[in-house]
Amino acid sequence: GEDRYPSRVATKATITDRKDPVVYGRAGDGPLSESELRFYQDNGYLSFDGLLSADDLAACLNELQRLRTDDAVKASPEAVIEPESRELRSVFSIHKSSALLRRLCGHPRLVAIARQLLGSEVYIHQSRINYKGGFRGKEFYWHSDFETWHVEDGVPAMRMVSCSIALTPNTSHNGPLMIVPGSHQRYVSCVGETPDDNYKSSLKRQEVGVPDDASLTQLVDEFGIAAPIGPAGSVTFFECNAMHGSNSNITPMPRSNLFVVYNSVENKPVAPFCGLEPRPNFIAEREDFTPAAELAKDR
Amino acid sequence: GEDRYPSRVATKATITDRKDPVVYGRAGDGPLSESELRFYQDNGYLSFDGLLSADDLAACLNELQRLRTDDAVKASPEAVIEPESRELRSVFSIHKSSALLRRLCGHPRLVAIARQLLGSEVYIHQSRINYKGGFRGKEFYWHSDFETWHVEDGVPAMRMVSCSIALTPNTSHNGPLMIVPGSHQRYVSCVGETPDDNYKSSLKRQEVGVPDDASLTQLVDEFGIAAPIGPAGSVTFFECNAMHGSNSNITPMPRSNLFVVYNSVENKPVAPFCGLEPRPNFIAEREDFTPAAELAKDR
């Protein structure tokens, strides 16, 4: 199809306007109020404390510990290991490897919000745990998720939403998510060609598909930086094109979160716009479009 | 002399009590009030907005830019370069290389506070600029400055105070100084022997003389974390043995500060307790004990 958001093809970065709606549904379509939808429309994110119960959370933390100490998980292709410390940085596709986390990814409250924002049935494009341990937790440099999902995965339009569930407290000290609120209204094309198998290094440290210094400065000058913090169990939805990142974490408190990406079933991936082979399904789903709500059902 | 604070000599870390006073002067001896002295006694730091005038600050920023773009500075032994980005991380001994910064290090308000805290005349043990640029500013891992100044420089007692002057705004987003308030009352001995010429790598990334994970966890569990933030021109004094560090800075806003360390003239360095050659004078003064107040006078 037509590439409405070209990136990594020019020698100079550009900032252009978004070509897609931000909110696809309406206030009556789900749990979000008119003013919540407007906040998301304007800022590109929405945060909630206590969307999940203490029981949900405790079960999730147990599961996290189990996965963390499982050598088979650490050796699997779904695991991303920190180059220096050899610690677990991320585990992908946890909605396929853990029954408990599958149910969480299909949690009715989360899915209802995603469906309302995207105005359609939704499926899971990606899920992961980011550990970001204490002491030596590394930064995630600024990026728009959509840029990668478009270029490397072939997702055509901005009709996706990410949901970050805090599994530990997110404070201003332990490298919380930072978002440039409003940046989802711009598209920053990036410089540099995509290498083959880029994901093998980019998931450790992203170097292609990140904004140049001048574009980032322009966005932050215009919009500032927001860093939603909250207790374990707090949930932040953020628009797929919102510019975001996080600093390192030298505190002893890990900043672990579960990250699940909902895509509209009307926005299924086509061939990657970079012209390379698509990334594996455990990073970017292209076969299983099961409605996310189904995952909450035991099987 | 006797080593009252041994470190890097045992295979296991220990946390022991401080053996020295925290505040050596009294309320009548200088600008700090009884309650400010008590805050410093309890927390190991004190922060002030607007201790410096806008003119002081503007001149200082100009000087910073000049030093930053001076190739001779970058090539000098006093400069510390980031291994990856090749950007300037720190410049040492700026009270000797810049007349303007020398006057700032001898600023009557700063020196009066240092003299009051240390209860004697003071001289400058070390001065430096830390650039911590935007985008790729790296973390400074947790450490007690005193541990290094004692082991590697031979400073006998905890009778020093560091003063960090913000040259750019310090926000919660751009990797501000984090302090464990109260940690100055404990001494964490570190594991690992000091290598020869340790400073050549430790100033880029400290790996010896940092607390082990268990000791740091214990301190933070007991005391928590404080991160004094403030506009450009704000000043934080912190006790030489306060455990502190800072996260990385991926925001476009640099977090530059000028750092000057006052030592009591009654606490001059002896031979380093690690038994190695002392570090160079531009990192740890051992010859020039000029009272800091003299530096404010033009020469």
Instruction: Report pLDDT digits (tens) over A24-61.
Output: 999 999 999 999 999 999 999 999 998 888 888 899 98
Q: Specify the range with the lowest mean pLDDT, choosing from A135-139, A240-244, A262-266.
A: A135-139
| CATH of A15-76+91-296 among 3.30.420.130, 3.40.50.300, 2.60.120.620, 3.40.50.360 | 2.60.120.620
Higher pLDDT, B100 or A83: B100
Q: Mutate which of A84, A87, A135, A223 to disrupt the B interface (most B C-beta within 10 Å)?
A: A135
Spatial contact of A261 and A127, defined as CB atoms under 8 Å apart: yes
Reduce the DSSP state of residue A226 to 3 states and report it: strand
What is the rounded CA–CA span in Å between residue A172 and residue A155? 33
* pLDDT given for residue A54 in this prediction: 87
* pLDDT given for residue A156 in this prediction: 97
Q: Where are the domains of chain B?
A: 15-296
Spatial contact of A117 and A40, defined as CB atoms under 8 Å apart: yes
Confidence of residue A298 (pLDDT cuts 50, 70, 90): low
Q: Classify residue B73 by its DSSP letter.
A: H
Nearest to A225 among B173, B175, B178 (CB): B173
Alpha helices per DSSP H over A46-90: 54-68, 71-75
Strand ranges (DSSP E) for B51-208?
79-81, 88-92, 122-130, 140-144, 160-166, 177-179, 186-188
Q: Mutate which of B178, B210, B250, B255 to disrupt the A interface (most A C-beta within 10 Å)?
A: B250
Question: Mean pLDDT across chain A, nearest whole number?
Answer: 92
| CATH of B15-296 among 3.50.50.60, 2.60.120.620, 1.20.1440.230, 3.40.50.150 | 2.60.120.620
For residue B238, what is the enclosing H or E element? strand B235-239
Q: Which amino acid is at B289?
A: F
Cβ–Cβ of B213/A141 closer than 8 Å?
Answer: no
What is the rounded CA–CA span in Å between residue B217 and residue B269? 31
What is the rounded CA–CA span in Å between residue B200 and residue B114? 29
What is the average per-residue pLDDT within A260-266? Answer: 98
What is the rounded CA–CA span in Å between residue A76 and residue A56? 26
For residue A100, what is the enclosing H or E element? helix A99-105
Angle between helices A108-118 and A34-43 in degrees, nearest 10: 70
Reduce the DSSP state of residue B87 to 3 states and report it: coil
Residue B126 dihedral angles phi and psi, to the nearest 5°: -160, 145
ipTM: 0.90
Nearest to B175 among A213, A227, A247 (CB): A247
Other C-beta atoms lying within 10 Å of the C-beta of residue A230: 17
Task: Show the tokens assigned to A233.
Answer: 């169990």
Edge to edge, the sheet with strand B45-48 lists B45-48, B235-239, B160-166, B257-264, B122-130, B88-92, B79-81
CA distance A235 to chain B (A): 20
Nearest to B247 among A213, A217, A249 (CB): A249
Q: Mutate which of B170, B172, B179, B220 to disrupt the A interface (most A C-beta within 10 Å)?
A: B172
What is the rounded CA–CA span in Å between residue B75 and residue B251? 27
Task: Show the tokens assigned to A18.
Answer: 């978004």
Nearest to A139 among B134, B246, B248 (CB): B248
Tens digit of each residue's pLDDT (9 = 90 or more) over A149-186: 999 999 999 999 999 999 999 999 999 999 999 999 99
Does the pLDDT value for residue A280 go beyond 90?
yes
Per-residue pLDDT of chain B (299 residues; tens, 9 = 90+): 689 999 998 889 999 999 999 999 999 999 999 999 999 999 999 999 988 888 888 999 899 888 888 888 889 999 988 777 777 888 999 999 899 999 999 999 999 999 999 999 999 999 999 888 889 888 899 999 999 999 999 999 999 999 999 999 999 999 999 999 999 999 999 988 887 887 777 766 767 789 999 999 999 999 999 999 999 999 999 999 999 999 999 999 999 999 999 999 999 999 999 989 999 999 999 999 999 999 988 65
* pLDDT given for residue A296 in this prediction: 86
What is the average per-residue pLDDT within A200-213? Answer: 79
Q: How far, in Å, are A59, A138, B27, B170 from residue B164 at the CA level?
A: 44, 25, 22, 11
CA distance B13 to chain A (A): 17
